[in-house]
Structure 1
Amino acid sequence: MTAPADQTLRQLGPTIYLPAAVWSTGLGAVAPVLVLTATGLGASPATAAVVAGMLGLGQISGSLPAGMLISRVGERTTMTAASVLAAPALIGCMLAPNVLLLGLAVALLGVCGSAWMLARLAYMTEAVRPELRARAMSTLGGVNRIGTFTGPFLGAGAMHLAGLDGAYLVAIAGVGLATLILFRLPRVPQDRSVPAGAERPGLWAVIRAHQRTLRTLGLAVLLVGALRASRQTILPLWGVALDLDPATIGLIYGVSGGIDMLLFYPAGKLMDVYGRRAAAVPAMALLGLAHLLLPLAGGPIGLTAVAVLMGVGNGLSAGLVMTLGADASPKAGRAEFLGAWRLCSDLGVGSGPLLIGAVTAASTLTIAALTVGGAGLLCATLLRKWIPVRAT
């Protein structure tokens, strides 16, 4: 079915944005407490960081299987399964008697998150008319960011009443509500599995057929993910290096996140009207430049200025990866392709903090900032080269 010519973002609210907002708010409530849960079980800071990193590992390992599952059973069924599995994963995090079981529960949560977001992307790629695609994708990214931003506040309130378990209870409630919304939504034509007897291309066949796209734009998307993740790590680390107190670091980080959230719709509008390059290249150039300027930040004012620049760059990239993936995806084997596409992005998200840690351990945090900054400028160059002039 072709999307109606008068389709608006408001019409997508009940089927796409409402469940996504509830889901991301719930999971956002537990994001800050995973490390605290691990240390409460006796883990060292390094081990606790590994436990938190299992979330990303779960996302990476879940991308390709989620694409195959969507191709076979449809988007809504996949999302429902992810929601149903997320609840016991959260209960496992809350009740884990040791660090090993906690890590496994966190990894399962990452797999569920990967399946959820990939199903949304596959659905929107078909259900949204191309002229509205970037705005729809960037709005979805904005809804997720708002949920991730507000979730910790709800979790903090619950923890005031019930300790760490309170954050997990908020997340369980969010996942349960998102599941209920999915069950009550009518099935739509795009939300389907491949009909029985229809030819279904295999995962590896799809990857081979589109290996050039995955080698080129996929590499650029990997760098996008690394840059986005690195800013979340390097800003707090630089604040610690400047001997700023945690409250000041949190405030600076919050300012950056607030600017980031304000730009999701303008970013989508820019891509829809002027092409994908118009937002992608400046966004990565600004993120790279901000990292290069970080060594000049000698106090809270300088760090705030860099954080603002990072917020602008990251905000301009809202929905970018999803939009480029939707543009490049084929009709036959779309879910499998998008699974491979998300794998590229997730690998970047996982590698960004690791790159900072490795370079810092080998040299200094300043060299790490300069390295990531150079990667940002390289990413902008690659996006300018490989994104079609008027991708739609």
Structure 2
Amino acid sequence: MHLAAINVGDLLIPLWRGTHSTEGDDHASRWEWAALADSDLWRKLGALVGSWATHLPISFDKTPHDLQKIHSHYRAWEWLILLYGYGPALFFGILDERYWQHFCRLVRGIRILQQCSITADQLAEADKHLKLFAWEFETLYVQGQTNRIHFVRPWIHAITHLANETERKGPPITCSQWTLERMIGDLGREIRNHASPYANISARATLRCQVNALKALYPDTFDPEHPNLPRGGEDLGDYYVLLCCRDRYSRTVSAAEETVLADALHSLGYQLEDAPHVQRWAHLRLPNGQIARSLWQEEIMTRGVRCSRNVSFQIPGEDTPSYGEVRYYFKMRHPSVKAFAMVSAYGLPDPDLRRRSFNTLHACKHRSDEDLCIIDVKNIRSVVAMIPHRFPDSRDLFFVVEKPGLSFTVLTGYEEPSHE
């Protein structure tokens, strides 16, 4: 937790701002990497980070503050979003290309290790990027000067062992300080005998282990396929659940949506005599506990809206995920009744930015009515943030931010509150 979040930020940000301590005749004015030293630029970046809060889905929990509060109010989670979510886009075109790509190596390696399930190829990729980051740090920042040795914090060496430790102990997210602190807090809240608290917490821990063992042996008993549904919800199977609100009656759709619906129905053998009508649903609960919302409902909300309608979905037969903005959900017979989503798909990520950032920056165009499609809701994998940003070449694109450690939430039984 502290290594990837607080420790990294506590070194890199002061270096880039030119506020890190110096020794001997070294001076920050000679640091070619101190691209954030200008106070006006720092204030603009801080305001930009604050403005992005409304684009982070509710399931992303706490949003990063304005950068002016970075040393007094930032928590580990905010550091994770700032560095590994916003970082590749935020610092692109500001940091020199060498330093930006060096930072992207770190982001790529840490993102892989934040997964709950990591393949051998991914682990090898993370190991390569983290070791190159450590080696290049001395080349780019220390530059062989003895008065900069204090730049090399212990965590820079520690990250070179993360991949090997992952192979030995499992993904860091399952055995990190964050996980241990969460467990200590959980068990601490269960203490009821304050006369002998240590014996009590030991007994509670033993009981927790016994329950976990039973859940592992009999998952169907403790994790039923049909969860308790909120009022008005509809279980679709495979842990997908449609949630209210929904239209009381079927309605007509826009001309662009009508064309897409008609094409879909024709492909199923239906011949339309009248314009298609749909009964819209507003929300969809995903197997990972997130709730994917819709443009239909979010555009009529007036206060405290955090955009949760952008999703990552996997089209069968394709290797890479696609991204889209959900307009609404609806049901259709295919040949049995199934649920679908009307989605405005984003374009493919810019290949040049993706390559130069080591696959950490996915920046897409929003096509609105130009790329409408209908997808099976069970192709939706997660809710993502699509952050609007003007890149240095004056292109207005949306870059993708995925929730750190999202795959781990499935194991914790997390469910985002619906508030419906």
TM-score bracket relative to the smaller structure: under 0.3
**Higher normalized strand content (fraction of residues):** 2
Structure having greater relative contact order (Cα 8 Å, sep ≥ 6): 1
Select the structure that is richer in helix. Answer: 1
Normalised to the residue count of structure 1, the TM-score between the two structures is 0.26
**TM-score for both structures, normalised by structure 2:** 0.25
Instruction: Give the structure with higher Rg (CA).
Output: 2
